[in-house]
Structure 1
Amino acid sequence: MSRPRESEPQTLIAGLLYREKEILTEALRRLVDGYGPLDFLSEPMPFHYSTYYEKEMGSDIFRRFAAFSDPVDPETLPDVKLQTNTIEGHLAENHRRRVNIDPGLLSPDRLVLATGKSAAHRIYLRAGIYADLTLIFQKGAYQPLPWTYPDYREPVVRHAFGALRAAAAGRRWSRLPRSPVALPEDPS
């Protein structure tokens, strides 16, 4: 018989798609206001994996990944997704999003993204939000699954998540200090 246990807090991450640096910065400011300082912010990567967002956002879209210093309770994932939807709506122009924010939870075992879209591999959480198992940790690295989005399959992205996993483990063992990352327009 399994014995239920509370889950450990996990690293909150966000994948952001955007065209304008100012919109990215404002989205990040709002996320930091809600979830605490950034622990990691990737460099901009051209998003050339799909044309899905071009009708709404235009072309020349970039992807960045952010991770937050303060771990969160996994039960809050639906609330985080609803909040990121609100941020997207506030930053929209003429009913078109200018930023897409995909929050997720990085744990030692997996990366789970939150989505409002149902699919066979997604588990309903609550409030119209599903958990999308995106990566699993096996053989010393995060591994993609058949449905993993192409940009999350990239070796450099999976390596960054692996580094975040190691840093979170180090903090749990009180071996690594926290040093928040500055937002893109900050001079420091």
Structure 2
Amino acid sequence: MGRLCQFELQKLVMGVLSSDESLHERLIETLVQRFGPIQEESEHVPFLFTDYYNKEMGGQPFRCFIVFKDLVDPSLLATIKLETNEIEQLFADKGNRKINLDPGILSAGSFILATTKNRSHRIPLHDGIYAETTLIYHGHCFNALPWTYADYRTEAFRTLFERYRNDYLQQLRMLENRL
């Protein structure tokens, strides 16, 4: 019989889509209040992979990633997604989202996103939230899977996540050295 143990803490990475840069400072303040200090924010790049969000957001959104300093228990991913859904509603205008938040957890071996949409490859967590392995680390790099979103498939994003992974591993080593 296997022994039960605590999950290894993981890195919280938040994908952000928004077409309104004027909301960004307030969003950052809200995210810090909910999830703690930010370690890093990626550059804002145009989201050109689909026009799915354009109408709702009132224009073409930008994409950025926010990496939080504090490590999290991965079993909290569904709870975090429920909180980000609440934050999206805080910023909504007449029922239309102005911000889309996609929380995920980064480990040494994968990046897992939380979602409300059920698909055959997604694992139910709780309260209508599912988990999807979006990237796997294999062969010294992150690799996409058949269902990985187009932006996460790009070499630029996979390289960015490899850097986040290196930072995460260094943070884990520092924590282990303190024990």
TM-score by length of 1: 0.89
- For the residues of structure 2 that align with 1:148 and 1:23, how far apart are their CA atoms? 28
2:174 partner SS: coil
Q: Write the mapping of 1:15-30 to structure 2, written as runs, cut at 5 A.
A: 15-30=15-30
- For the residues of structure 2 that align with 1:106 and 1:98, how far apart are their CA atoms? 26
- For the residues of structure 2 that align with 1:83 and 1:27, how far apart are their CA atoms? 13
> 2:90 — aligned with what?
90
**CA offsets, 1:102-135, max 9 Å, x none?**
0000010100000011000100000110001100
- For the residues of structure 2 that align with 1:154 and 1:25, how far apart are their CA atoms? 27
Matched, 1:53 2:65: no
1:174 partner SS: helix
Q: Is the 8 A contact 1:106 1:165 kept in 2?
A: yes
- For the residues of structure 2 that align with 1:41 and 1:91, how far apart are their CA atoms? 20
Shift of 1:10: 0.4
Shift of 1:5: 2.7
> 2:5 — aligned with what?
5
Shift of 1:59: 2.3
> 1:108 — aligned with what?
108
TM-score by length of 2: 0.94
Shift of 1:18: 0.4
Tell me the percent identity: 40
Q: Which amino acid is 1:26 matched to?
A: R
Shift of 1:167: 1.0
Gaps of 5+ in 1: 176-188
- For the residues of structure 2 that align with 1:134 and 1:74, how far apart are their CA atoms? 15
Q: Which amino acid is 1:144 matched to?
A: A
**CA offsets, 1:142-188, max 9 Å, x none?**
1100000011111111111111111111122129xxxxxxxxxxxxx
Across the aligned residues of Structure 1 and Structure 2, the Cα RMSD in angstroms comes to 1.3
Count of aligned pairs between the two proteins: 175
- For the residues of structure 1 that align with 2:144 and 2:58, how far apart are their CA atoms? 28
Gaps of 5+ in 2: none
> 1:184 — aligned with what?
none
> 2:151 — aligned with what?
151
- For the residues of structure 2 that align with 1:108 and 1:50, how far apart are their CA atoms? 29
> 1:178 — aligned with what?
none
Give the structure, 1 or 2, with the largest relative contact order (CA under 8 Å, sep 6 or more).
Answer: 1
- For the residues of structure 2 that align with 1:7 and 1:138, how far apart are their CA atoms? 21
Q: Which amino acid is 1:88 matched to?
A: E
Q: Is the 8 A contact 1:24 1:99 kept in 2?
A: no
